[in-house]
Amino acid sequence: MRVVFDLDGTLIDSAPDIHAASNAALAEMGYPALSLDEVRSFVGKGVPNLVERLLQASGEDPTGPMNRRLTEALMARYHDAVALTLPYPGVRAALAALAAAGWRMGICTNKPIGPTRAVLAHLGLQDAFEVVLGGDSLPERKPDPTPLFKTFEGLGNGPLAYVGDSEVDAETAARAAVPFAIYTRGYRKTPVAELPHDAAFDDFADLPALIGQIAR
Whether 144 is catalytic is no
User: Using CA atoms, how far apart are residues 7 and 29, in angstroms rounded to an integer?
Assistant: 29
Give whole-number Cα distances, 123 to 115, 116, 119, in Å: 12, 11, 6
Q: Are 5 and 182 in contact (CB under 8 A)?
A: no
* 1 close to 102: Cβ distance less than 8 angstroms: yes
* Residue 185 phi, psi (nearest 5): -105, 20
Annotated catalytic residue, options 6, 8, 13, 169 = 6
Cβ-based neighbours of 156, under 8 Å, separated by 6 or more: 2, 104
Q: Which residues are catalytic?
A: 6
